[in-house]
Amino acid sequence: MGAVTLARWQFGITTVYHFFFVPVTIGMAFLVAVLETAYVRTRKPVYLRMTKFWGKLFLINFALGVATGIVQEFQFGMNWSAYSRFVGDIFGAPLAIEGLLAFFLESTFLGLWIFGWNKLSPRLHAATMWLVSIGTILSAFWILLANSWMQNPVGYTYNAETGRAELTSFLDLIANKALWAEFPHVIFASLATGGALILGVSAWHLLRKNEPDFFTASTKFAAVALLVGSLGVAFTGHLQGQVMVAEQPMKMAAAEALWQSEQPAGFSLFAIGDVENSRNSFNIIIPRALSLLAYNNLTSEVKGMSDIQATEAAKYGSGNYIPNVFIAYWSFRLMVGFGFLMIAIALWALLRKRSMETSWFLKLALWGIALPFLANSLGWIFTEMGRQPWAVFGVLKTMDSASPTVGSGLVWTSMIGFTILYGVLAVVEVYLMMKYAKAGPDEAVETTSSLAY
Amino acid sequence: MEGIWNLNTLWFTLIAVLWIGYFFLEGFDFGVGILLPFIGKDDVDRRVVINSIGPVWDGNEVWLLVAGGATFAAFPEWYATLFSGFYLPLFLILIALIIRGVAFEYRSKDTRPTWRSRWDWAIFVGSFLPALLWGVGFANIVRGVPIDAAHEYAGGFWNLLNPYALIGGLASLSLFTLHGALFLSLKTHGDVEDRARGVARNLGWISLVFMITFLVWTYVGHASGEIVPGVVPIAVLALIGTVPWLVGKKFVGWAFVFTGATIALTVVNMFTALYPNVMPSSLSEAYSLTVFNASASHMTLKVMTIVAIIFTPIVLLYQGWTYWVFRKRIGRDDLAAQSH
């Protein structure tokens, strides 16, 4: 494999891995802050126990999210120096601002939250978790501002003298419509992730009839979070799809395995592609549904990959502008499918009386913990691989982005190193999560102290 | 765009400030982590040692992320050349920081001795490596590395292992360990405090030897000559030279201030030796990266300046407040009440 391919694998592995922890962090920080506020308001001990128990799981997860986050900032320079030179004038600022506005906030106030149980008043202690939550959300905002610029580059100009993209309007970066679709999408997905985790762990305990009051209260709380999160994620996903049709039509066409333009266009449910001949050998479609999703009507034309390929080749020069259709099609479909499954679980949990007493549903909720993690990963794989061959859409290709001086030997070294380390840490993290999840709230309350380490 | 009154020089200065903040704060974290196996005789001791930095280490590490991000934003060429060129050392630093960060949080989550001793090793190695490698890295930047006309690093891993850089690494390693020993004796009481002060006394001399070598070598061999370093290196030596005496007289607070000032002024010394370069090339002066040819556009620097002016004071306020909240010394008796 060439260094570019290796660097892409490394970015994929480290980013998907990092993003196992990020949505849990964003979602749980918010949910724990809500729980602690409920305690401060009502002074009911159950809310304090919930804060400490779910807070413990949050902390175990947070450690790995932070530790793997440093790699993200460094590897742009290490593996993608050509990219960094070309876009650094635009891309660097949100990363720096993320550190200054978000990382300081979340890490400083999390330190206060962990170690401040007897040092801060309950009200102030709860406030520190709100600041952590705000920090995590700000962090998402700034890094997604950087990513949305790669999806839909705005507010820049190409400077031939310096040979790079240069910022012309910072406000355009903030106003990027790709950002305002991506950012709420990720925040709602994080809320759903936190909800699914709390729901699943509670279901495990309810199956064993442990502390029914505590865990029934937790399931209701979690199911609301899951419902709001998964409905929000569907709605903002729809908005994002429409931005994509306008700005990255190729990605949408690949997601639909739509080879030829159609008017009106149907939504594919299950297709078997024949990539060599640019067609599907088998396809089940809902007529007109894609036109509806893309343009809010039943008649509009949706461009297919062949047409878009011709347009982009004319615009950017000859080359293949079609991403990996198999990946785009299935990652998109599975992401959406898992998302709807989450909505169904949340609705069942909330609307069906005694849902929390039926063992099949509790088992489903337990296994449902996997759903948001799968959907989150597939979403990133879809949006990043669907943008190929571009690193920055229409501006810089991935194959021109890697570090010219970093050979495949070096990338192999770091990739193997990170992969082994991440693998070991995953085992440790799952062990600890299960240990504390199974031990229940008493253990969490006992082991919470102002000298936490 | 020449002279020193421009945004380029301002950002060069701000990045120096970020590294000062990072090395001052995570410097003692590293030192505490390095001393963990030596000062912590049993599990209770070791928990005293780790809890002394527990609430603050993560916030301290953010200074690195902001320094890295600010370099990316303000000097994309510097960031690209440095991070792709110093690939292996940075990879090692990343591995170290990952295992160290996870170790702090996970160590106490299980009571088995093997579990805890493994994480203790992770904390030691994860602190030792960066404390050494940051010095090696910065010494190499000051010394100059092979950079070609395209601003690409043209050397290999072995270029980075030269006597001057190794002295730089030993200087940072010994200075951070000393800084950590002093922090520990300020933040704990009882046996841990006493042992940390004893270590600091011996380390003071070792650190002084490495710092003298490093500073003299920097001054004689690698200053650009643009700005006369003047009294800075002399001040550094005076400060670090006084530390063993201060420790002997039990003026530990002052000794900590002095090692902190030593760290700060050493960074100042390196950055003044560099200016106007950010990464001098050892191949040709014409290939060197400077604050002008490596920088972002004026627009980006302006945006960054506004953001920094508004938010840096806020960050300093709440981070300072954290140290105030956790100002109390801790010791074995504080942990005795706990079961885990």
Domain co-membership, A418 together with A327: yes
Domain-located, residue A453: no
Q: Which domain-ending residue is among A281, A303, A319?
A: A319
Both tokens assigned to B153: 């690093």
Give the C-alpha distances (Å, rounded to integers) separating B283 from A183, B155, B161, B239, B288.
46, 10, 17, 36, 9
Domain-located, residue A451: no
Q: Cβ of B340 and A99 within 8 Å? A: no
Give the C-alpha distances (Å, rounded to integers) separating A136 from A66, A101, A128, A172, B4.
11, 10, 12, 23, 37
Residues 6+ away with beta carbon under 8 Å from B219 = B229, B233, B273
Q: Cβ of B91 and A413 within 8 Å? A: yes
Evaluate the CA torsion angle B127, B133, B138, B141 in order and state its sign.
negative
Burial class (CB in 10 A: 0-12, 13-18, 19+), B43: middle
CA nearest A411 in B: which residue? B87
Q: Cβ of B299 and A77 within 8 Å? A: no
Mean predicted confidence (pLDDT) in B131-141: 96
Using CB atoms, pick whichever of A81, A116, A432 lies closest to residue B80: A81
Domain co-membership, A64 together with A144: yes
Q: Cβ of A85 and B77 within 8 Å? A: yes
Domain-located, residue A214: yes
Q: Cβ of B51 and A452 within 8 Å? A: yes
Using CB atoms, pick whichever of A98, A104, A159 lies closest to residue B319: A104
Domain co-membership, A221 together with A313: no
| A373, A375, A378, A379 alpha-carbon torsion, rounded to 10° | -120
Chain B residue numbers touching A89 (CB-CB < 8 A): 76, 296-297, 300
Mean predicted confidence (pLDDT) in B11-28: 97
Q: Cβ of A91 and B72 within 8 Å? A: yes
Chain A residue numbers touching B97 (CB-CB < 8 A): 67, 70
Cα–Cα distance measured from residue A77 to residue A83, given in angstroms and rounded to the nearest whole number: 8
Q: Cβ of A90 and B300 within 8 Å? A: yes
Q: Kindly report which listed range (A80-84, A272-276, A416-420) carries the lowest average pLDDT score.
A: A272-276
pLDDT in tens, A8-41: 999 999 999 999 999 999 999 999 999 999 999 9
- Residue A91 touches chain B, beta carbons under 8 Å: yes
Q: Which domain-ending residue is among A290, A319, A348?
A: A319
Question: How would you classify the pairing of strands A164-167 and B277-279?
Answer: unpaired
Q: Residue B100 is which amino acid?
A: R
Give the C-alpha distances (Å, rounded to integers) separating A344 from A190, A231, A355, A379.
17, 10, 12, 19
pLDDT of res. B2 = 67
Domain-located, residue A371: yes
List domains and CATH numbers for chain B. 10-336 (1.20.1630.10)
Mean predicted confidence (pLDDT) in A301-315: 93
Both tokens assigned to A130: 């709100």
Chain B residue numbers touching A82 (CB-CB < 8 A): 80
Across-strand partners of B145?
A: B281
Domain co-membership, A261 together with A309: yes
Burial class (CB in 10 A: 0-12, 13-18, 19+), A170: buried
Q: Cβ of B105 and A60 within 8 Å? A: yes
Q: Cβ of B69 and A109 within 8 Å? A: no
Q: Does residue A316 carry a pLDDT above 70? A: yes
pLDDT of res. B337 = 67
Cα–Cα distance measured from residue A301 to residue A308, given in angstroms and rounded to the nearest whole number: 13
Question: If residue B48 lies in a helix (H) or strand (E), which one and from where to where?
Answer: helix B43-51
Q: Cβ of B325 and A451 within 8 Å? A: no
Chain A residue numbers touching B101 (CB-CB < 8 A): 63, 66-67
Q: How many domains does chain A have?
A: 2
Domain co-membership, A46 together with A130: yes
Chain B residue numbers touching A25 (CB-CB < 8 A): none
Complex-level ipTM: 0.93
Domain-located, residue A452: no
Chain A residue numbers touching B59 (CB-CB < 8 A): 104, 107-108, 111
Domain co-membership, A168 together with A268: no
Residue A43 domain boundaries? 3-248+323-446
Chain A residue numbers touching B82 (CB-CB < 8 A): 77
Give the C-alpha distances (Å, rounded to integers) separating B87 from B41, B176, B283, B327.
37, 23, 20, 38
CA nearest A69 in B: which residue? B98
Cα–Cα distance measured from residue B280 to residue A210, given in angstroms and rounded to the nearest whole number: 65
Domain co-membership, A397 together with A263: no
CB pairs under 8 A between A and B: 241
Q: Kindly report which listed range (A236-250, A289-303, A319-333) carries the lowest average pLDDT score.
A: A289-303
Domain co-membership, A243 together with A305: no
| CA distance to partner chain A, nearest, from residue B328 (Å) | 11
Chain B residue numbers touching A95 (CB-CB < 8 A): 69, 72-73
Q: Which residues of A89-103 are buried (b: 16+ CB within 10 A; e: fewer)?
A: bbbbbbbbbbbbbbb
pLDDT in tens, A98-147: 999 999 999 999 999 999 998 999 999 999 999 999 999 999 999 999 99
Cα–Cα distance measured from residue A384 to residue A305, given in angstroms and rounded to the nearest whole number: 17
3-state SS string over chain A? CCHHHHHHHHHHHHHHHHHHHHHHHHHHHHHHHHHHHHHHHHCCHHHHHHHHHHHHHHHHHHHHHHHHHHHHHHHHHHHCHHHHHHHHHHHHHHHHHHHHHHHHHHHHHHHHHHHCCCCCCHHHHHHHHHHHHHHHHHHHHHHHHHHHHHHCCCCEEEECCCCEEEECCHHHHHHCHHHHHHHHHHHHHHHHHHHHHHHHHHHHHHHCCCCHHHHHHHHHHHHHHHHHHHHHHHHHHHHHHHHHHHHCHHHHHHHCCCCCCECCCCEEEEEEEEHHHCEEEEEEEECCHHHHHHHCCCCCCECCHHHHHHHHHHHHCCCCCCCCHHHHHHHHHHHHHHHHHHHHHHHHHHHCCCHHHCHHHHHHHHHCCHHHHHHHHHHHHHHHHCCCCEEECCCEEHHHCCCCCCCHHHHHHHHHHHHHHHHHHHHHHHHHHHHHHHHCHHHHHHCCCCCCC
Q: Cβ of B47 and A436 within 8 Å? A: no
Cα–Cα distance measured from residue A61 to residue A432, given in angstroms and rounded to the nearest whole number: 9
**Residue of B79, B278, B307, B339 to mutate, testing the A interface (most A Cβ within 10 Å of its Cβ):** B79
Chain B residue numbers touching A91 (CB-CB < 8 A): 72
Q: Residue B80 is which amino acid?
A: A
Domain co-membership, A62 together with A139: yes
Is residue B233 within 8 A of residue B221, CB to CB? The reply is no
**Residue of B53, B87, B319 to mutate, testing the A interface (most A Cβ within 10 Å of its Cβ):** B87
Both tokens assigned to A384: 């990043």
Q: Cβ of A78 and B91 within 8 Å? A: yes
Using CB atoms, pick whichever of B83, B297, B318 lies closest to residue A108: B318
Mean predicted confidence (pLDDT) in B32-56: 95
Q: Cβ of B55 and A111 within 8 Å? A: yes
- Residue A226 touches chain B, beta carbons under 8 Å: no
| B217 or A82, which is more confident | A82
pLDDT of res. A448 = 82
Q: Does residue A56 carry a pLDDT above 70? A: yes
Burial class (CB in 10 A: 0-12, 13-18, 19+), A345: buried
**Residue of A25, A58, A61, A100 to mutate, testing the B interface (most B Cβ within 10 Å of its Cβ):** A100
Cα–Cα distance measured from residue B41 to residue B321, given in angstroms and rounded to the nearest whole number: 32
pLDDT of res. A168 = 95
Domain co-membership, A86 together with A142: yes
CA nearest B91 in A: which residue? A414
pLDDT in tens, A212-257: 999 999 999 999 999 999 999 999 999 999 999 999 999 999 999 9
Question: If residue B76 lies in a helix (H) or strand (E), which one and from where to where?
Answer: helix B76-85
pLDDT of res. B319 = 96
Domain co-membership, A233 together with A359: yes
Chain A residue numbers touching B62 (CB-CB < 8 A): 99, 103-104, 107-108
Using CB atoms, pick whichever of A63, A70, A413 lies closest to residue B106: A63
- Residue A82 touches chain B, beta carbons under 8 Å: yes
Q: Tokens 């309350």 belong to which residue?
A: A445
CA nearest B335 in A: which residue? A451
Residues 6+ away with beta carbon under 8 Å from A147 = A182
Cα–Cα distance measured from residue B49 to residue B32, given in angstroms and rounded to the nearest whole number: 7
- Residue A424 touches chain B, beta carbons under 8 Å: no
Domain-located, residue A121: yes
Per-chain mean pLDDT for chain A:
94
Q: Which residues of B265-284 are buried (b: 16+ CB within 10 A; e: fewer)?
A: bbbbbbbbbbbbbbbbbbbe
Q: pTM, whole model, 2 decimals?
A: 0.94
Cα–Cα distance measured from residue B326 to residue A118, given in angstroms and rounded to the nearest whole number: 11
Chain A residue numbers touching B154 (CB-CB < 8 A): 405
**Residue of B125, B299, B332 to mutate, testing the A interface (most A Cβ within 10 Å of its Cβ):** B299
Phi/psi-derived region of residue A354, left when phi > 0, alpha when psi is between -120 and 50, beta in every other case:
left
Domain co-membership, A133 together with A219: yes
pLDDT of res. A352 = 87
pLDDT in tens, B215-263: 888 877 766 555 566 778 888 888 898 999 999 999 999 999 999 999 9
Q: What is the DSSP letter of B258?
A: H
Q: Which domain-ending residue is among A301, A319, A337?
A: A319
